[in-house]
Structure 1
Amino acid sequence: MTVFAPADRTVMDLGMNNGDDTAYYLAKGFEVVALEANPALAAAGRTRFAEEIAAGRLRLEEAAIWSSAGTVTFHVNEANDHWSSIEPSWAGREDTPTRAVEMPALTLEMLFARHGVPHYLKIDVEGVDAIVLDQLRDLPSKPAFVSVEDCRFGFHYIATLAEAGYVSFALVDQSQVPAMRDPDLAYVFPKGASGPWGDALLGPWLDRAAFEALYETTVRDRKGNRIAPRTHWFDVHARRA
Protein backbone atom coordinates (compact mmCIF):
# COMPACT_ATOMS: atom_id res chain seq x y z
CA MET A 1 0.00 0.00 0.00
CA THR A 2 1.28 3.46 -0.91
CA VAL A 3 1.55 5.94 1.95
CA PHE A 4 2.15 9.61 1.20
CA ALA A 5 4.17 11.71 3.61
CA PRO A 6 2.24 14.23 5.71
CA ALA A 7 2.39 17.89 4.77
CA ASP A 8 5.50 18.65 6.77
CA ARG A 9 8.03 21.38 6.07
CA THR A 10 10.76 19.43 4.26
CA VAL A 11 11.84 19.63 0.61
CA MET A 12 14.47 17.37 -0.93
CA ASP A 13 16.50 18.98 -3.73
CA LEU A 14 18.21 16.25 -5.77
CA GLY A 15 20.65 18.15 -7.97
CA MET A 16 21.24 21.36 -6.02
CA ASN A 17 23.66 22.77 -8.62
CA ASN A 18 24.20 26.49 -7.84
CA GLY A 19 21.58 26.49 -5.09
CA ASP A 20 18.94 28.73 -6.68
CA ASP A 21 16.16 26.18 -6.10
CA THR A 22 17.32 25.56 -2.54
CA ALA A 23 17.26 29.32 -1.91
CA TYR A 24 13.61 29.46 -3.02
CA TYR A 25 12.58 26.53 -0.82
CA LEU A 26 14.29 28.17 2.16
CA ALA A 27 12.57 31.48 1.38
CA LYS A 28 9.25 29.61 1.49
CA GLY A 29 10.06 28.53 5.04
CA PHE A 30 10.88 24.90 4.30
CA GLU A 31 13.71 22.86 5.70
CA VAL A 32 15.79 21.50 2.83
CA VAL A 33 17.83 18.39 2.18
CA ALA A 34 20.04 19.09 -0.84
CA LEU A 35 22.18 16.59 -2.73
CA GLU A 36 25.04 17.69 -4.99
CA ALA A 37 27.72 15.46 -6.53
CA ASN A 38 29.93 18.21 -7.99
CA PRO A 39 32.47 18.96 -5.22
CA ALA A 40 32.97 22.57 -6.31
CA LEU A 41 29.22 23.28 -6.29
CA ALA A 42 28.78 21.53 -2.94
CA ALA A 43 31.55 23.70 -1.48
CA ALA A 44 29.93 26.83 -2.93
CA GLY A 45 26.61 25.75 -1.40
CA ARG A 46 28.19 25.39 2.03
CA THR A 47 29.45 28.96 1.71
CA ARG A 48 26.24 30.43 0.29
CA PHE A 49 24.02 28.76 2.89
CA ALA A 50 26.37 28.79 5.89
CA GLU A 51 23.73 30.41 8.14
CA GLU A 52 20.98 27.99 7.12
CA ILE A 53 23.27 24.99 7.61
CA ALA A 54 24.32 26.25 11.05
CA ALA A 55 20.65 26.75 11.97
CA GLY A 56 19.77 23.23 10.87
CA ARG A 57 17.46 24.44 8.10
CA LEU A 58 19.63 22.93 5.34
CA ARG A 59 21.31 19.54 5.30
CA LEU A 60 23.70 19.20 2.35
CA GLU A 61 24.73 15.77 1.10
CA GLU A 62 27.87 15.87 -1.06
CA ALA A 63 27.15 12.66 -2.94
CA ALA A 64 25.62 11.20 -6.08
CA ILE A 65 22.35 9.29 -6.20
CA TRP A 66 22.55 5.88 -7.82
CA SER A 67 20.97 2.43 -7.93
CA SER A 68 23.21 1.14 -5.13
CA ALA A 69 25.30 2.50 -2.28
CA GLY A 70 29.10 2.75 -2.39
CA THR A 71 31.17 4.91 -4.69
CA VAL A 72 30.61 5.96 -8.28
CA THR A 73 32.52 7.86 -10.95
CA PHE A 74 30.95 11.25 -11.51
CA HIS A 75 31.86 13.23 -14.64
CA VAL A 76 32.08 16.98 -14.06
CA ASN A 77 31.46 18.98 -17.22
CA GLU A 78 34.02 21.79 -17.20
CA ALA A 79 32.14 23.89 -19.75
CA ASN A 80 28.58 23.59 -18.40
CA ASP A 81 28.14 22.30 -14.85
CA HIS A 82 24.43 21.62 -15.53
CA TRP A 83 25.50 18.69 -17.75
CA SER A 84 27.64 16.91 -15.15
CA SER A 85 26.50 13.32 -14.73
CA ILE A 86 27.33 9.78 -13.73
CA GLU A 87 26.63 8.89 -17.37
CA PRO A 88 29.77 9.88 -19.39
CA SER A 89 27.90 10.33 -22.68
CA TRP A 90 25.40 12.61 -20.93
CA ALA A 91 28.11 14.65 -19.22
CA GLY A 92 30.28 15.03 -22.31
CA ARG A 93 27.62 15.98 -24.84
CA GLU A 94 28.63 18.26 -27.72
CA ASP A 95 32.25 17.10 -27.20
CA THR A 96 32.64 19.30 -24.11
CA PRO A 97 35.48 18.51 -21.67
CA THR A 98 34.79 16.51 -18.51
CA ARG A 99 36.75 15.54 -15.42
CA ALA A 100 36.10 12.29 -13.53
CA VAL A 101 35.84 12.29 -9.74
CA GLU A 102 35.01 9.46 -7.35
CA MET A 103 32.01 10.29 -5.18
CA PRO A 104 29.96 8.54 -2.49
CA ALA A 105 26.75 7.05 -3.90
CA LEU A 106 23.43 6.97 -2.04
CA THR A 107 20.06 5.49 -2.92
CA LEU A 108 16.73 7.25 -2.50
CA GLU A 109 15.81 4.76 0.21
CA MET A 110 18.96 5.74 2.12
CA LEU A 111 18.16 9.43 1.83
CA PHE A 112 14.59 8.89 3.06
CA ALA A 113 15.84 6.76 5.95
CA ARG A 114 18.43 9.36 6.92
CA HIS A 115 16.33 12.51 6.53
CA GLY A 116 12.68 11.40 6.38
CA VAL A 117 10.27 11.42 3.45
CA PRO A 118 9.93 15.01 2.20
CA HIS A 119 6.73 16.81 1.32
CA TYR A 120 8.21 17.63 -2.10
CA LEU A 121 10.95 15.86 -4.05
CA LYS A 122 12.72 17.70 -6.88
CA ILE A 123 14.63 15.39 -9.25
CA ASP A 124 17.18 16.91 -11.64
CA VAL A 125 20.14 14.56 -11.74
CA GLU A 126 21.15 14.52 -15.40
CA GLY A 127 20.79 11.06 -16.88
CA VAL A 128 19.93 9.28 -13.64
CA ASP A 129 16.36 10.56 -13.23
CA ALA A 130 14.78 7.29 -14.40
CA ILE A 131 16.73 5.34 -11.78
CA VAL A 132 15.44 7.69 -9.07
CA LEU A 133 11.85 7.36 -10.30
CA ASP A 134 12.12 3.57 -10.34
CA GLN A 135 13.32 3.64 -6.73
CA LEU A 136 10.52 6.04 -5.77
CA ARG A 137 7.90 3.73 -7.31
CA ASP A 138 9.08 0.84 -5.18
CA LEU A 139 9.24 2.65 -1.84
CA PRO A 140 6.24 2.29 0.49
CA SER A 141 6.19 5.94 1.61
CA LYS A 142 6.36 8.77 -0.92
CA PRO A 143 6.33 12.58 -1.11
CA ALA A 144 3.01 14.28 -1.82
CA PHE A 145 4.63 16.25 -4.67
CA VAL A 146 7.36 15.29 -7.16
CA SER A 147 8.96 16.99 -10.13
CA VAL A 148 11.45 15.63 -12.66
CA GLU A 149 13.32 17.24 -15.51
CA ASP A 150 11.86 16.05 -18.79
CA CYS A 151 13.95 14.32 -21.45
CA ARG A 152 13.36 11.87 -24.29
CA PHE A 153 12.05 9.35 -21.74
CA GLY A 154 9.13 11.59 -20.79
CA PHE A 155 6.40 9.01 -21.43
CA HIS A 156 8.30 6.49 -19.31
CA TYR A 157 8.56 9.07 -16.51
CA ILE A 158 4.80 9.68 -16.62
CA ALA A 159 4.08 5.95 -16.53
CA THR A 160 6.44 5.38 -13.59
CA LEU A 161 4.92 8.26 -11.63
CA ALA A 162 1.45 6.84 -12.26
CA GLU A 163 2.63 3.39 -11.10
CA ALA A 164 3.96 5.09 -7.97
CA GLY A 165 0.46 6.32 -7.17
CA TYR A 166 0.47 9.89 -8.50
CA VAL A 167 -2.76 10.88 -10.21
CA SER A 168 -2.42 14.57 -11.17
CA PHE A 169 0.23 16.03 -13.48
CA ALA A 170 1.38 19.47 -14.61
CA LEU A 171 3.86 20.63 -17.26
CA VAL A 172 6.18 23.58 -16.58
CA ASP A 173 8.04 25.28 -19.43
CA GLN A 174 11.36 26.04 -17.77
CA SER A 175 12.20 28.77 -20.27
CA GLN A 176 9.26 30.75 -18.85
CA VAL A 177 10.22 30.41 -15.16
CA PRO A 178 11.87 33.86 -14.86
CA ALA A 179 8.48 35.40 -15.73
CA MET A 180 6.62 33.35 -13.08
CA ARG A 181 5.76 34.58 -9.60
CA ASP A 182 4.96 32.78 -6.37
CA PRO A 183 1.60 34.16 -5.19
CA ASP A 184 2.78 34.07 -1.56
CA LEU A 185 6.18 35.72 -2.05
CA ALA A 186 7.61 38.71 -3.86
CA TYR A 187 10.15 36.32 -5.35
CA VAL A 188 11.93 36.64 -8.69
CA PHE A 189 13.13 33.33 -10.12
CA PRO A 190 16.59 33.50 -11.71
CA LYS A 191 17.19 31.99 -15.14
CA GLY A 192 17.71 28.26 -14.84
CA ALA A 193 15.70 27.87 -11.63
CA SER A 194 13.02 25.19 -11.46
CA GLY A 195 10.39 27.67 -10.31
CA PRO A 196 7.20 27.14 -8.28
CA TRP A 197 5.76 23.77 -7.30
CA GLY A 198 2.81 22.29 -5.47
CA ASP A 199 0.13 24.76 -4.45
CA ALA A 200 2.21 27.65 -5.81
CA LEU A 201 2.08 26.06 -9.27
CA LEU A 202 -0.88 27.55 -11.08
CA GLY A 203 -1.30 24.47 -13.27
CA PRO A 204 -3.37 23.26 -14.94
CA TRP A 205 -3.25 19.96 -13.07
CA LEU A 206 -4.49 17.13 -15.30
CA ASP A 207 -5.18 13.43 -14.98
CA ARG A 208 -2.78 11.09 -16.77
CA ALA A 209 -4.74 10.77 -20.02
CA ALA A 210 -5.24 14.52 -20.39
CA PHE A 211 -1.63 15.20 -19.44
CA GLU A 212 -0.26 12.74 -21.99
CA ALA A 213 -2.45 14.38 -24.63
CA LEU A 214 -0.94 17.76 -23.70
CA TYR A 215 2.58 16.34 -23.59
CA GLU A 216 2.41 14.68 -27.00
CA THR A 217 1.18 17.88 -28.64
CA THR A 218 3.52 20.22 -26.76
CA VAL A 219 6.84 18.45 -26.06
CA ARG A 220 7.27 15.30 -28.20
CA ASP A 221 5.05 12.73 -29.85
CA ARG A 222 4.90 9.04 -28.99
CA LYS A 223 7.45 8.22 -31.69
CA GLY A 224 9.97 10.44 -29.89
CA ASN A 225 9.86 13.33 -32.35
CA ARG A 226 10.40 16.61 -30.55
CA ILE A 227 7.68 19.22 -31.09
CA ALA A 228 8.84 22.00 -28.79
CA PRO A 229 11.60 24.36 -29.95
CA ARG A 230 15.05 23.64 -28.53
CA THR A 231 14.84 26.93 -26.65
CA HIS A 232 12.12 25.41 -24.46
CA TRP A 233 12.67 22.69 -21.88
CA PHE A 234 10.27 21.22 -19.36
CA ASP A 235 9.69 19.75 -15.93
CA VAL A 236 6.99 17.17 -15.23
CA HIS A 237 5.21 17.68 -11.88
CA ALA A 238 3.07 15.07 -10.16
CA ARG A 239 0.94 15.08 -7.02
CA ARG A 240 -1.01 12.49 -5.07
CA ALA A 241 -4.48 13.99 -5.72
Structure 2
Amino acid sequence: MAVSKHADLVYDVGMNLGEDTEFYLKKGYRVVGFEADPLLVDHCQKRFAAELAAGQLKIVAGVICADPPASGTIAFYRSTNDQWGTICSKWDERNRQLGSSSSVIHLKAIDFAGCLARYGIPHCMKIDIEGADLVCAKMLLQFTQRPDYLSIESSQTDFSALLGEFELLSELGYSRFALVQQQTIEGRVYEGHSLEGNPIRHVFSRGASGPFGAELAEPYLSQAEAIKEYERVFRMYRLFGDDSPLWRNVVGRQLGKVSWRLQKRFGVAIPGWYDTHAALGSG
Protein backbone atom coordinates (compact mmCIF):
# COMPACT_ATOMS: atom_id res chain seq x y z
CA MET A 1 0.00 0.00 0.00
CA ALA A 2 1.41 3.40 -0.98
CA VAL A 3 1.08 5.99 1.79
CA SER A 4 3.04 9.22 2.17
CA LYS A 5 5.79 9.50 4.75
CA HIS A 6 6.05 12.69 6.80
CA ALA A 7 9.38 14.02 8.10
CA ASP A 8 7.67 15.99 10.87
CA LEU A 9 5.55 13.10 12.24
CA VAL A 10 6.24 10.72 15.15
CA TYR A 11 4.10 7.84 16.41
CA ASP A 12 4.17 7.24 20.17
CA VAL A 13 2.66 3.77 20.43
CA GLY A 14 2.13 3.28 24.15
CA MET A 15 1.92 6.85 25.47
CA ASN A 16 1.63 5.90 29.13
CA LEU A 17 1.83 9.24 31.01
CA GLY A 18 3.15 11.10 27.95
CA GLU A 19 6.82 10.93 28.93
CA ASP A 20 7.95 10.52 25.31
CA THR A 21 5.20 12.59 23.73
CA GLU A 22 6.39 15.58 25.78
CA PHE A 23 9.86 15.28 24.24
CA TYR A 24 8.57 14.79 20.69
CA LEU A 25 6.30 17.82 20.97
CA LYS A 26 9.11 19.92 22.41
CA LYS A 27 11.21 18.89 19.40
CA GLY A 28 8.49 20.33 17.17
CA TYR A 29 7.09 17.09 15.76
CA ARG A 30 3.45 16.34 15.12
CA VAL A 31 2.57 13.31 17.21
CA VAL A 32 0.01 10.53 16.94
CA GLY A 33 -0.16 8.85 20.33
CA PHE A 34 -1.76 5.46 21.04
CA GLU A 35 -2.87 4.43 24.53
CA ALA A 36 -5.15 1.68 25.80
CA ASP A 37 -5.71 2.45 29.48
CA PRO A 38 -8.60 4.97 29.79
CA LEU A 39 -7.07 6.47 32.92
CA LEU A 40 -3.84 7.22 31.07
CA VAL A 41 -5.75 8.52 28.04
CA ASP A 42 -7.59 10.95 30.32
CA HIS A 43 -4.30 12.01 31.92
CA CYS A 44 -2.68 12.72 28.54
CA GLN A 45 -5.73 14.57 27.23
CA LYS A 46 -5.48 16.92 30.19
CA ARG A 47 -1.69 17.18 30.14
CA PHE A 48 -1.55 18.03 26.45
CA ALA A 49 -4.81 19.95 26.09
CA ALA A 50 -3.12 22.86 24.33
CA GLU A 51 -1.32 20.64 21.81
CA LEU A 52 -4.51 18.69 21.11
CA ALA A 53 -6.40 21.91 20.52
CA ALA A 54 -3.66 23.17 18.19
CA GLY A 55 -3.67 19.96 16.19
CA GLN A 56 -0.04 19.10 16.97
CA LEU A 57 -1.16 15.96 18.82
CA LYS A 58 -3.75 13.29 18.07
CA ILE A 59 -4.55 10.61 20.67
CA VAL A 60 -5.98 7.27 19.52
CA ALA A 61 -7.59 5.44 22.45
CA GLY A 62 -7.95 1.67 22.47
CA VAL A 63 -6.10 -1.63 22.14
CA ILE A 64 -3.88 -2.66 19.25
CA CYS A 65 -4.14 -6.39 18.53
CA ALA A 66 -3.45 -8.76 15.66
CA ASP A 67 -6.95 -10.20 15.19
CA PRO A 68 -9.73 -8.00 16.60
CA PRO A 69 -12.75 -10.10 17.63
CA ALA A 70 -16.15 -9.63 16.01
CA SER A 71 -17.32 -7.77 19.12
CA GLY A 72 -14.79 -5.02 18.42
CA THR A 73 -13.51 -5.14 22.00
CA ILE A 74 -10.70 -7.04 23.69
CA ALA A 75 -9.75 -7.88 27.27
CA PHE A 76 -7.04 -5.66 28.74
CA TYR A 77 -5.18 -6.34 31.98
CA ARG A 78 -4.95 -2.98 33.72
CA SER A 79 -1.98 -3.25 36.06
CA THR A 80 -1.34 -1.43 39.33
CA ASN A 81 1.98 -0.55 37.67
CA ASP A 82 0.81 1.95 35.05
CA GLN A 83 3.61 0.89 32.66
CA TRP A 84 2.58 -2.78 32.61
CA GLY A 85 -0.95 -2.83 31.20
CA THR A 86 -1.21 -5.58 28.56
CA ILE A 87 -3.52 -7.76 26.46
CA CYS A 88 -1.20 -10.75 26.98
CA SER A 89 -2.12 -13.13 29.79
CA LYS A 90 1.47 -14.42 30.01
CA TRP A 91 2.74 -10.89 30.52
CA ASP A 92 0.09 -10.32 33.19
CA GLU A 93 1.26 -13.49 34.93
CA ARG A 94 4.85 -12.22 34.83
CA ASN A 95 3.73 -8.87 36.22
CA ARG A 96 2.00 -10.61 39.11
CA GLN A 97 5.16 -12.57 39.87
CA LEU A 98 7.00 -9.26 40.02
CA GLY A 99 4.56 -7.91 42.61
CA SER A 100 1.81 -6.09 40.69
CA SER A 101 -1.88 -6.92 40.47
CA SER A 102 -4.41 -6.28 37.72
CA SER A 103 -8.06 -6.02 36.82
CA VAL A 104 -9.61 -6.97 33.48
CA ILE A 105 -11.45 -4.35 31.44
CA HIS A 106 -12.75 -4.56 27.87
CA LEU A 107 -11.61 -1.91 25.44
CA LYS A 108 -12.14 -0.92 21.82
CA ALA A 109 -9.82 -2.61 19.31
CA ILE A 110 -7.81 -0.23 17.11
CA ASP A 111 -7.26 -0.72 13.37
CA PHE A 112 -3.56 0.19 13.42
CA ALA A 113 -3.08 -0.35 9.69
CA GLY A 114 -6.02 1.98 9.12
CA CYS A 115 -4.35 4.62 11.30
CA LEU A 116 -1.15 4.33 9.23
CA ALA A 117 -3.20 4.85 6.07
CA ARG A 118 -5.05 7.81 7.60
CA TYR A 119 -2.23 9.69 9.32
CA GLY A 120 0.69 8.61 7.14
CA ILE A 121 4.01 6.86 7.75
CA PRO A 122 5.98 8.67 10.46
CA HIS A 123 9.63 9.65 10.51
CA CYS A 124 9.99 7.74 13.76
CA MET A 125 7.81 5.13 15.45
CA LYS A 126 8.32 4.22 19.11
CA ILE A 127 6.49 1.04 20.06
CA ASP A 128 6.11 -0.01 23.69
CA ILE A 129 2.86 -1.88 24.28
CA GLU A 130 3.72 -4.72 26.65
CA GLY A 131 3.81 -7.94 24.67
CA ALA A 132 2.37 -6.64 21.39
CA ASP A 133 5.17 -4.54 19.87
CA LEU A 134 5.61 -6.88 16.92
CA VAL A 135 1.91 -6.65 16.06
CA CYS A 136 2.50 -3.02 15.08
CA ALA A 137 5.80 -3.69 13.35
CA LYS A 138 4.30 -6.51 11.24
CA MET A 139 1.56 -4.21 9.98
CA LEU A 140 4.24 -2.09 8.31
CA LEU A 141 4.73 -4.98 5.88
CA GLN A 142 1.51 -3.85 4.20
CA PHE A 143 3.10 -0.53 3.22
CA THR A 144 5.77 0.41 0.70
CA GLN A 145 7.15 3.17 2.95
CA ARG A 146 8.63 2.53 6.42
CA PRO A 147 9.58 4.88 9.28
CA ASP A 148 13.20 6.02 9.08
CA TYR A 149 13.58 4.94 12.70
CA LEU A 150 11.66 2.37 14.73
CA SER A 151 12.11 1.12 18.29
CA ILE A 152 10.65 -1.86 20.14
CA GLU A 153 11.16 -3.35 23.58
CA SER A 154 13.37 -6.40 23.10
CA SER A 155 12.57 -9.86 24.41
CA GLN A 156 14.14 -10.56 27.79
CA THR A 157 13.33 -14.25 28.21
CA ASP A 158 13.55 -15.99 24.82
CA PHE A 159 16.63 -15.58 22.61
CA SER A 160 14.87 -17.27 19.68
CA ALA A 161 12.13 -14.63 19.97
CA LEU A 162 14.82 -11.94 19.91
CA LEU A 163 16.22 -13.44 16.71
CA GLY A 164 12.69 -13.35 15.30
CA GLU A 165 12.53 -9.64 16.06
CA PHE A 166 15.69 -9.06 14.04
CA GLU A 167 14.34 -11.18 11.18
CA LEU A 168 11.22 -9.01 11.03
CA LEU A 169 13.17 -5.76 11.26
CA SER A 170 15.46 -6.96 8.46
CA GLU A 171 12.44 -7.90 6.33
CA LEU A 172 11.14 -4.37 6.86
CA GLY A 173 14.42 -3.00 5.47
CA TYR A 174 16.24 -2.03 8.67
CA SER A 175 19.97 -2.66 8.64
CA ARG A 176 21.40 -0.68 11.58
CA PHE A 177 20.55 -1.37 15.21
CA ALA A 178 21.26 0.20 18.59
CA LEU A 179 20.74 -1.36 22.03
CA VAL A 180 19.45 1.17 24.56
CA GLN A 181 19.43 0.16 28.23
CA GLN A 182 16.18 1.74 29.38
CA GLN A 183 16.97 2.01 33.08
CA THR A 184 19.76 4.45 32.22
CA ILE A 185 17.38 6.96 30.58
CA GLU A 186 15.83 8.59 33.66
CA GLY A 187 17.65 11.83 34.45
CA ARG A 188 19.53 12.05 31.15
CA VAL A 189 19.78 15.63 29.90
CA TYR A 190 19.14 16.35 26.23
CA GLU A 191 20.47 19.57 24.76
CA GLY A 192 19.73 20.00 21.09
CA HIS A 193 17.43 21.75 18.67
CA SER A 194 13.83 21.62 17.52
CA LEU A 195 12.85 21.07 13.91
CA GLU A 196 12.71 24.85 13.57
CA GLY A 197 16.30 25.15 14.79
CA ASN A 198 15.49 26.53 18.23
CA PRO A 199 17.68 25.31 21.11
CA ILE A 200 15.87 23.07 23.61
CA ARG A 201 16.81 21.38 26.86
CA HIS A 202 14.97 18.35 28.18
CA VAL A 203 15.45 16.08 31.18
CA PHE A 204 14.04 12.60 30.61
CA SER A 205 11.68 11.41 33.33
CA ARG A 206 11.11 7.92 34.67
CA GLY A 207 9.55 5.72 32.00
CA ALA A 208 10.83 7.78 29.07
CA SER A 209 12.38 6.02 26.08
CA GLY A 210 14.94 8.75 25.49
CA PRO A 211 16.29 10.23 22.25
CA PHE A 212 15.88 8.52 18.90
CA GLY A 213 17.37 8.43 15.44
CA ALA A 214 20.69 10.13 14.85
CA GLU A 215 20.64 11.60 18.37
CA LEU A 216 21.12 8.32 20.23
CA ALA A 217 24.12 8.20 22.55
CA GLU A 218 24.47 4.50 21.79
CA PRO A 219 26.21 3.41 18.55
CA TYR A 220 24.40 1.81 15.65
CA LEU A 221 25.60 -1.71 14.88
CA SER A 222 25.15 -4.22 12.11
CA GLN A 223 22.62 -6.99 12.73
CA ALA A 224 25.39 -9.48 13.49
CA GLU A 225 27.07 -7.08 15.91
CA ALA A 226 23.78 -6.29 17.66
CA ILE A 227 22.90 -9.98 18.09
CA LYS A 228 26.37 -10.68 19.49
CA GLU A 229 25.89 -7.89 22.03
CA TYR A 230 22.50 -9.32 22.98
CA GLU A 231 24.19 -12.66 23.69
CA ARG A 232 26.07 -10.87 26.49
CA VAL A 233 22.87 -9.19 27.69
CA PHE A 234 21.05 -12.53 27.81
CA ARG A 235 23.76 -14.01 30.01
CA MET A 236 22.89 -11.28 32.51
CA TYR A 237 19.15 -11.87 32.02
CA ARG A 238 19.62 -15.53 32.96
CA LEU A 239 21.18 -14.44 36.26
CA PHE A 240 19.13 -11.37 37.15
CA GLY A 241 16.26 -10.99 34.65
CA ASP A 242 12.49 -11.35 35.11
CA ASP A 243 12.59 -15.09 34.39
CA SER A 244 15.66 -15.81 36.53
CA PRO A 245 15.58 -17.82 39.79
CA LEU A 246 16.02 -14.52 41.64
CA TRP A 247 12.34 -13.60 41.15
CA ARG A 248 10.76 -17.01 41.76
CA ASN A 249 10.38 -16.78 45.53
CA VAL A 250 9.74 -14.15 48.18
CA VAL A 251 13.33 -14.04 49.43
CA GLY A 252 14.68 -13.67 45.92
CA ARG A 253 12.26 -10.85 45.13
CA GLN A 254 13.31 -9.00 48.27
CA LEU A 255 16.97 -9.39 47.29
CA GLY A 256 16.08 -8.17 43.82
CA LYS A 257 14.43 -5.04 45.20
CA VAL A 258 17.49 -4.31 47.34
CA SER A 259 19.62 -4.78 44.22
CA TRP A 260 17.47 -2.29 42.29
CA ARG A 261 17.89 0.33 45.02
CA LEU A 262 21.67 -0.16 45.05
CA GLN A 263 21.82 0.01 41.27
CA LYS A 264 19.87 3.28 41.25
CA ARG A 265 22.08 4.70 44.02
CA PHE A 266 25.27 3.99 42.08
CA GLY A 267 23.91 4.73 38.60
CA VAL A 268 24.07 1.25 37.12
CA ALA A 269 21.43 -1.24 36.02
CA ILE A 270 21.93 -5.02 36.04
CA PRO A 271 20.67 -6.17 33.65
CA GLY A 272 17.83 -3.68 33.15
CA TRP A 273 15.82 -4.03 29.97
CA TYR A 274 16.64 -2.94 26.44
CA ASP A 275 14.92 -1.28 23.55
CA THR A 276 16.12 -2.18 20.08
CA HIS A 277 16.33 0.88 17.83
CA ALA A 278 16.36 0.19 14.09
CA ALA A 279 17.37 2.55 11.29
CA LEU A 280 16.92 2.41 7.53
CA GLY A 281 19.86 2.92 5.20
CA SER A 282 23.58 2.89 5.78
CA GLY A 283 24.27 6.50 6.80
Aligned ranges 1:12-91 → 2 under 5 Å: 12-69=11-68, 70-77=72-79, 79-91=80-92
Q: Describe the superposition over 1:30-59 as per-residue Cα deviations: whole angstroms up to 9, x where unpaired.
A: 010000000000001000000000000000
Deviation of the 1:225 alpha carbon: 4.0
CA shift for structure 1 position 138:
4.2
In structure 2, do the counterparts of structure 1 residues 16 and 86 end up closer, same or farther at CA, with 3 Å as the change threshold? same
Please say if 1:237 is aligned against 2:277.
yes
Partner of 1:147: 151
Per-residue deviation, 1:189? 0.5
Asked if structure 2 preserves the Cα contact closer than 8 Å seen for 1:138 and 1:164, the reply is no
Matches within 5 A, 1:99-114: 99-114=103-118
User: Match of 2:213, as an amino acid?
Assistant: G
Between 42-51 and 140-149, report the one with greater CA deviation: 140-149
Q: What is the root-mean-square deviation in Å for CA atoms of aligned residues? A: 2.2
1:161 alignment partner in structure 2? 169
Query: How many Å apart are 1:3 and its aligned residue?
Result: 8.0
Give the partner amino acid of 2:220. W
Same amino acid, percent of matched pairs: 33
What secondary structure, in the 3-state scheme, does the structure 2 residue paired with 1:34 have? strand
Counterpart of 1:172 in structure 2 is 180
Tell me the CA shift for residue 89 of structure 1.
2.9
Alignment of 1:145-224 (within 5 A): 145-152=149-156, 153-184=161-192, 185-217=200-232, 219-220=233-234
Q: Is the 1:108–1:136 contact (alpha carbons within 8 Å) kept by the matching residues of 2?
A: no
Q: How has the CA–CA distance of structure 1 residues 97 and 202 changed in structure 2, closer, same or farther, with 3 Å as cutoff? A: closer
Task: Check 1:110–1:226 CA distance in 2 against 1; reply closer, same or farther (3 A cut).
Answer: farther
Indicate how the Cα distance of structure 1 residues 134 and 126 shifts in structure 2: closer, same or farther if over 3 A, else same: same
Change (3 A) 1:167 1:4: farther
Structure 1 length as normaliser, TM-score?
Answer: 0.89
Q: Name the SS for the 1:157 alignment partner.
A: helix
| Alpha-carbon distance in structure 2 between the residues aligned to 1:98 and 1:161 | 32
Displacement of 1:186 after TM fit? 1.5
**For residues 168 and 191 of structure 2, what CA distance do their matches in structure 1 show?**
30
What one-letter code is carried by the residue in structure 1 that aligns with 2:214? D
Say if 2:140 is the partner of 1:136.
yes
**Alignment TM-score, normalising by the size of structure 2:** 0.77
- Deviations, residues 2-40 of structure 1 (Å, cap 9, x unaligned): 989645111001100011110010011001000000000
Residue segments in structure 1 that go unaligned for 5+ positions in a row:
none
C-alpha displacement at 1:67, in angstroms?
1.0
- Whether the 8 Å CA contact 2:17–2:44 is kept in 1: the answer is yes
* In structure 2, C-alpha distance between the alignment counterparts of 1:4 and 1:182, rounded to whole Å: 32
Over alpha carbons, which structure has the higher Rg? 2
Structure number with the higher helix fraction is 2
Say whether the 8 Å CA contact 2:13–2:128 is kept in structure 1: yes
CA apart distance, 1:179: 4.5
Instruction: State how far apart, in whole Å, the 1-side matches of 2:54 and 2:14 are.
Output: 22
Provide, for residues 186-233 of structure 1, a one-character-per-residue CA deviation record: whole Å limited to 9, x for no partner.
21101221000002113311111111112212x216xx8467765511
The question of whether the paired residues in 1 share the 8 Å contact of 2:5 and 2:120 is answered with no
Task: Spell out structure 1 runs of 4+ moving beyond 3 A.
Answer: 2-7, 224-231
Which moves more between the two structures, 203-212 or 37-46?
203-212
State the distance in 2 between where 1:236 and 1:165 align: 15
Q: Unmatched 5+ residue regions in structure 2?
A: 193-199, 242-268
Given that 1:175 and 1:231 are in contact with CA atoms closer than 8 Å, whether structure 2 keeps it comes out as no
Structure 1 position 94 matched with structure 2 position 96: yes
Aligned residue pairs total 236
